[in-house]
Structure 1
Amino acid sequence: MSNSLVELSVVQPGQVTPCCPPITSAELSQADAEKMAAMFKALADPVRLRLFSKVASHPAGEACVCDIADVGVSQPTVSHHLKKLREAGLLASERRGTWVYYRVEPSVIAAMAALLDNPGPR
């Protein structure tokens, strides 16, 4: 892991803008499809999905790697999966001393939910 810090931005309510229109409203652009495919591909692995869930549901809104590493794989494998989630834009990380803390990027869940939003029959 890198020793560099990742600056976490604070998003105020109402500032979150989904990246893509709901899939039922219009055809996705190439760029939007690639962005969302990378996110869904990263979440398609059961270990990554569990790690993402542990971070997203953590009461503090962020989780230390020491609190989420118990997913049935070795620590280097956990680090690999967390790196893939960061590369896909799903997680942000910040090193504090010897530990790394993770949080879900603020717009991620809103973007995925908006993409999959189904307003019902047209």
Structure 2
Amino acid sequence: MIGASSHTGVDVCAPDRVSPPLPRADAERIARLLKALSDPTRLQILSLIEAAPSGEACVCDLTEPFDMTQPAISHHLRILVEANILRRDKRGSWTWYSINPGQLEPIRHVLPGPAFLQPTP
């Protein structure tokens, strides 16, 4: 128990200067990031973009590796863009995506794993 103390041999919960919780606005922002990242396809999309030599990928490049339609991949990309995890750059009739590394910073220390979650040197 946090802050447990013993009185007459019985454990009693008595908080001892527990630090304040994560501010609500920060918790909500991190929860939105985690929700956007909670889908395996979205994590795979991020890994493909991160592995691309230029650090970006066209939507047409992201459809082929999956057994999904282009609208389904676009749906996942939209969720990642709305969470500000990906940046979108429209070039002619194609849209290119790159990882917004600063957006993942709040969860880097919580989630070890893929390179896109780790700080760049």
Runs of 4+ deviating beyond 6 Å: none
Distance in 1 between residues matched to 2:95 and 2:72, nearest whole Å: 15
Distance in 1 between residues matched to 2:85 and 2:41, nearest whole Å: 14
SS in 1 for 2:101: coil
Q: Which runs of 5+ in 2 are unaligned?
A: 1-18, 113-121
Distance in 1 between residues matched to 2:53 and 2:97, nearest whole Å: 13
Q: TM (normalized to structure 2)?
A: 0.68
Question: Which structure has the larger Rg?
Answer: 2
Write the deviation string for residues 64-121 of structure 1: whole angstroms up to 9, x where unpaired: 111122222111110111000111110010110111000111302333214x289xxx
* Structure of greater relative contact order (alpha carbons < 8 Å, 6+ residues apart): 1
Report % sequence identity. Answer: 41
Tell me how many residue pairs correspond in the alignment: 93
Instruction: Indicate the residue corresponding to 2:51 in structure 1.
Output: 57
Instruction: Indicate the residue corresponding to 1:101 in structure 2.
Output: 96
SS in 1 for 2:68: coil
Distance in 2 between residues matched to 1:58 and 1:92, nearest whole Å: 15
Distance in 1 between residues matched to 2:58 and 2:82, nearest whole Å: 18
Q: Give the deviation of 1:54 after TM superposition.
A: 1.1
Q: What amino acid is the match of 1:41?
A: K
Q: Which runs of 5+ in 1 are unaligned?
A: 1-24
Q: TM (normalized to structure 1)?
A: 0.68
